[in-house]
Amino acid sequence: MSQPSKTPSILSLYPEESREAADLLKQAVPLMMRHNIPPNPMHYALWYTYSKGLEPELNRRLDKAIKDFDSFPPETAAKLFRDYIIRGELEEARAGQQQVIELVDDIEGDVSHSVVSSQAYQASLIQGLNALHEPLIDDLPNVLNELQQSTQLMQDQQEKFLYRLRSAQEEIQHLRGQLERAHIAATLDSLTNVFNRHAFTRLLEQALSVDHQGVALVMLDIDHFKQFNDQYGHPLGDRVLQHVGQLLRELLPPRAMAARYGGEEFCVILRDCLDLETAFAFAEQMRLKIQALRVKVRRTDQILDTITASFGLALAETGDNLESLLTRADDALYQAKRNGRNQVHPATPTPALSA
């Protein structure tokens, strides 16, 4: 079976740290505004890559599209997105599909060969049994010898078939592992190993679509993180983010889900949470754990003990959707920042909804 060629994944296309990504953002957005291109995720990925300048052919085609058309055609954007942004994922999917096709073809050939061998063996048995029913069996040794040879041949064929089945099972396990790794890469934040923003949005929408009751949202933001990065560098900032991600994974209650919402901001979806007090208790526990973090600056051996985070939380109410719940939790987080940071602030229930 042919092996798929290695192609860059979409995660490897954008390894920039926050500062470099922000610089590219400042280039990409004005380009889209200048040409009246809606800054949706697909267009942003194209013009972000354009600003990065590592795909000359993409830049040439984008320049040509802008020159040839009064507005940027959606079908052109979609094609360029497939050809240059997610091509690695598409090629990997095609390669995996081809592996499955080849695997099925191999198994089909082995099954067909086994069926033919079984039919031949059945015919040999029938012929031998008919010979044994004859009144005079002068050729009995030959009949028995033919049956023995047919049996041995059938046994050999079955052993080969079983070997191919075992090989196919191993190949299926390998393909399943590839699919699982691809799924993990598509849903997890690579730095903190919690869900990424895209997965979080989907999970929160699913939770709200099933039943609002018992759903709470906790948003946390590491205090003064920009200054922290500026003073100690992004590698140390990344270590702090990794520690926070680890704490979230350790402290999550059953059925809860944590995600990195962006930069130094995280979100937690709590299920089976029927009151703000329960959500508050979880957030307060998390706040204290973050406050207790001690991070060592390797070049100076300095121990940092001033890492804190602010929290906003909101309990889902009847009529809430993704945007309204996020807004209330974000407003509560903002209030926690205004009140002095390093604290948990619950959202005030909406009068119209809670009445």
Do 208 and 316 touch, CB atoms closer than 8 A? yes
3-state DSSP helix/strand/coil % of the chain, to nearest 5: 65, 10, 25
Active site residue 264: yes
**Cα distance between residue 245 and residue 272, in whole Å:** 22
The active-site residue out of 55, 89, 92, 264 is 264
Do 219 and 287 touch, CB atoms closer than 8 A? no
The closest of 354, 201, 196, 346 to 281, measured between CA atoms, is 346
The closest of 192, 259, 246, 189 to 219, measured between CA atoms, is 259
Give residue for tokens 């890492």.
Answer: 307
The closest of 332, 340, 350 to 220, measured between CA atoms, is 332
**Cα distance between residue 32 and residue 350, in whole Å:** 38
Helical packing angle, 234-251 and 276-291, nearest 10°: 140
One DSSP character per residue, 179-248 reads: HHHHHHHHHB-TTTSSB-HHHHHHHHHHHHHH-STT-EEEEEEETTHHHHHHHH-HHHHHHHHHHHHHHH
- DSSP letter (8 states) at residue 4: P
The closest of 257, 92, 90, 91 to 189, measured between CA atoms, is 257
The closest of 304, 324, 138 to 237, measured between CA atoms, is 304
Residues involved in catalysis: 264
